[in-house]
Structure 1
Amino acid sequence: MSQNIKFVPNPYTAGGSMREDVFSVQFSVYVELEIGLLDNDRVSTYSQSSSHFVGGAPTVSEAVDLASQFLAKYSHDDALDAVAREYICPEEDCLEWSSAQSVRIYDREHRLIMGGAAAGSTVTWVEPVTSIPERAEVEAKIEALLSEASFEAGWDNYSTAKGLRRTAERLRWKLSPSPIVLTPYFAQELAQKGLFASH
């Protein structure tokens, strides 16, 4: 039975290989949906966020393509509502609206690779940092934003605080803990994709 196991080169490790079945799904794509639900009084609404698993991919480039294909397919409200109903809110009459907020790509140990803000069928990806000074700068910005969010929440400015926390979270996407973002192949495929202005 072991003779049927096929190994393929893994471009993220120098001279390394991986089982073909593992390689084909080594990256996972998730889309964060924000949905509006009817409250118990059946008049007012409230919102909640939920992560939807889109699928697996063998490379980061293909994971980016998978995310784009999902958003293109479900960019219309009715189509996205159908996804929300099937996986998040099975009660037909409780869902008021849904929208895609962000996309995240993880490695096979569920470490963040990249994140991006979703708007309709497009994603604005956040480039991971690769230098220690830049990392420290981003961490300081995150700390300042969270401090400001706490201050605003203390004055009951909850929507402002939520926006500041969301900005901090999106900055956190730059701090990928996965060693894959430091590999030459990762830099090469991002350059080929042209995802960032600096490339």
Structure 2
Amino acid sequence: MQLKTHHFEGVAFIATPYRSGTYLRKDVFWRQFTITCQGHVEYPEDDPVYGSWWTPQTLVLGKCGLIVDAMSLANTRVLHHDFDLTDVSDALSFAPELIIVRDRGQRLVLAGQFRGDTVRWCIPVASDDETEQIVNEVAELRSEASYEAGWDNFSTAQGLRFRARVLEGRLVDRFWRHHTRKVILAATL
């Protein structure tokens, strides 16, 4: 995608492809999307005889200016299992689950589920009716997870909660739905 750069009073601005007639300062444009990865980090037990334990963790993968670049960055990091654990001291490994892309206003732009060494991107909802349907399905899954947890079926409850989080990945902010859907469909062709 060819981006147009304009200079106003010596400062570079980029015409954003997402909103006609809108310009963002160049440094802001290239940081407008934050790509994170939710997963679990493995830590060693105090006594090595007992092995290791896992805990949920969210890692920042990077920042980008275009949705297609965010997808590319996430795909590359997942393919090469390139996750920076320097901020997580004593970590042994990281098991990624979900990729989340948010804009500067913390609105959901894109989400994807980790599958092997690829990311399966969530297709955004197409309408408010579909949004309502997804919200209801998520509530049902969370309710079922709560019931299972009450019966000490923790792995079943964890699986149901994960399915709910993946479904929530379809609840892309209304402004970004069209743009994200277009990029995902172009990537699958």
Normalised-by-shorter TM-score class? 0.7 to 0.9
Give the AA of the match of 1:102.
L
Residue 130 of structure 2 corresponds to which residue in structure 1? Answer: 134
AA aligned to 2:184 is: L
Following TM superposition, by how much is the alpha carbon of 1:47 offset from its aligned partner in structure 2, in angstroms? 1.1
Q: Structure 1 runs of 4+ off > 4 angstroms?
A: none
Partner of 1:176: 172
Q: Does the 8 A contact of 1:152 with 1:158 survive in 2?
A: yes
Name the residue aligned to 1:125. Answer: 121
- Deviation readout 1:54-88 (Å, 9 max, x if unpaired): 111111111100111112232xxxx65xx33x121
Task: Tell me how far 1:114 sits from its aligned partner.
Answer: 1.4
- Tell me, in whole angstroms, the C-alpha distance in 2 between the residues paired with 1:40 and 1:178: 47
Q: Which residue of 1 aligns with 2:45?
A: 39
Q: CA–CA distance in 2 between the matches of 1:38 and 1:146? A: 31
Q: Which runs of 5+ in 1 are unaligned?
A: none
1:87-102 matches, within 5 Å, as 87-88=87-88, 90-91=89-90, 95=92, 97-102=93-98
Aligned equivalent of 1:50? 57
1:62 aligns with 2:56: no
Closer, same or farther in 2 for the Cα pair 1:156/1:51, shift >3 Å? Answer: same
CA distance in 2, matches of 1:174, 1:188: 14
Aligned length: 181
For the Cα contact (< 8 Å) 1:107–1:178, is it kept in 2? no
The answer for the alignment partner of 2:11 in structure 1 is 5
Quote how far apart the aligned CAs of 1:41 are: 4.0
Show structure 2 runs of 5+ residues with no match. Answer: 1-7
Take 2:44 and 2:52, find their aligned partners in 1: how far apart are those partners?
4
Alignment TM-score, normalising by the size of structure 1: 0.82
Q: Are the aligned partners of 1:111 and 1:178 in contact in 2 as well (CA < 8 Å)? A: no
CA 1:153–1:144 in structure 2 vs 1: closer, same or farther (change >3 Å)?
same
Amino acid aligned to 1:52: L
Match for 1:18 among 24, 31, 47? 24
TM-score (structure 2 length as normaliser): 0.86
AA matched with 2:168 = R
Residue number in structure 1 paired with 2:186: 192
Greater alpha carbon shift after TM alignment, 157-166 vs 114-123? 114-123
Q: 2:182 and 2:145 mapped to 1: Cα distance?
A: 37
Stretch deviating more after TM superposition (42-51 or 14-23): 42-51
2:4 is aligned to none
